[in-house]
Amino acid sequence: MSDVAQVMGVSTTTVSNAFSRPDQLSPELRDRILARAAKMGYYGPHVAGRVLKHGHANAYGVVFMDTLSSVFDDPFKLQWLAGFSDEIRPAGASLVLMAVAPDLPASAQALRNTLVDGIAVTWATHPIMSMARSQGLPVVAGGPHGTCYVTIDEHAAGKEMGDHLRSMGHDQVCIVTGPVAQAVSEPTISAWDQYVADQEPHGAWPRLTGLVEGLQVATSMVVQATHWSRAAGAAAATAALERFSHLTALACVGDQLAVGCCDVLRSRGVTVGEDVAVPGFDGTIDAQKHDLTTIDARAREQGSRAAQLLLNTALQPRQAILDHSLALRGSSQGLKLRR
């Protein structure tokens, strides 16, 4: 900037304003300064230097445990990101997508290599949250964890879905869930009691326990899919149908899993909703498209509220539990009359 200022015959402050405070200069002077700077090979202050000087990056990270490619295949995450973006764009802030494995080394490396003013985590827990807090960064969790989070009452939502299935007369139910953290190699099937014994509480735990409580079926079975995706839901449904011949419902704790289950049932000539019920969870656009009964988890509103809490660290309350709703559609209708 000093070199440009000397050549232009202006102060260094004037050159700085041309890049960062254009309202302080006439358009004609700013254009001349920028043109001369570009000719000299200077295109503005380095972002890292600006962060060191001002103490903020004007950027916010969103952490996912999945690969970023899988994020773009997930309607819930896309709706969440849309809500987040709606809030940070008017503030002139940037969005940084961070795919971080749920372990301490990956979390530490991500924080070392990324310049952000705060992070939001779309799952309930992740090691990066405590590490970021220790560095003074504001953190918003996607579940009831820590001092700042945005979620729905997932246990109550799961119970509402379970109550619905029980009211329709379902007593042969297989629950379909995804992996706890990272993808697994093949679907696994276990009784609910065994699943509880084998697993540590995780992000989907509240919706699972609520669902089982609402079902009131002592012999509930659980299929753990290899991923939270449509293809993994199809593989899980195939495994369940091969093991159990008299299922009345595949209760999925994610819409993508449910869509995959519907794919397999329809390919076998099974009428979804009348022969086998397939509810989902999340309330995505895909749930509407495929006529899924689901829990509307207000994805876009969750993302919007998370961004508000990061942008304004004085905003209260810091723990937001949004309303959810049970959207009844064709994938779980008709069984009560049929039975």
State phi, psi for 256 to the nearest 5 degrees: -65, -40
Strands, E assignment, the chain = 59-64, 94-99, 119-121, 139-140, 149-152, 173-177, 188-191, 221-224, 249-252, 294-296, 319-322, 325-327
Quick one: tokens of 154? 């997932």
CA distances for 57 relative to 43, 264, 282, 284, angstroms: 18, 47, 32, 32
If you ran DSSP here, which 8-state letter would residue 320 be given?
E
Q: What is the mean pLDDT of residues 307-317?
A: 95
Q: What is the mean pLDDT of residues 279-301?
A: 95
pLDDT at 205: 87
Least confident range from 5-19, 181-195, 250-264, 321-335: namely 181-195
Q: What is the mean pLDDT of residues 277-281?
A: 96
- Amino acid at site 265: L
Q: What is the mean pLDDT of residues 53-60?
A: 74
Mean pLDDT of the chain: 89
Quick one: tokens of 84? 């987040």
Distance in angstroms (rounded) separating the CA atoms of residues 272 and 37: 65
CA distances for 214 relative to 179, 198, 207, 225, angstroms: 22, 22, 10, 22
Per-residue pLDDT of 60-79, as tens digits, reads 999 998 888 888 989 999 99
Per-residue pLDDT of 67-110, as tens digits, reads 888 889 899 999 999 999 999 999 999 999 999 988 888 999 99
Q: Helix or strand or coil: residue 154? A: helix
Per-residue pLDDT of 123-164, as tens digits, reads 777 889 999 998 889 999 998 888 899 999 999 999 999 999
pLDDT at 119: 95
Per-residue pLDDT of 197-248, as tens digits, reads 888 777 788 999 999 999 987 668 999 999 999 999 999 999 999 998 889 9
Write the secondary structure of 184-221 as one string of H (helix), E (strand) and C (coil).
CCCCEEEEHHHHHHHCCCCCCHHHHHHHHHHHCCCCCE
pLDDT surpasses 60 at 326? yes
Distance in angstroms (rounded) separating the CA atoms of residues 107 and 49: 24
State phi, psi for 122 to the nearest 5 degrees: -80, -10
Distance in angstroms (rounded) separating the CA atoms of residues 338 and 135: 59
Q: Which domains does the chain have, with CATH numbers?
A: 2-45 (1.10.260.40), 57-151 (3.40.50.2300), 154-297+325-338 (3.40.50.2300)
Report the share of the chain in percent with pLDDT over 90. Answer: 64
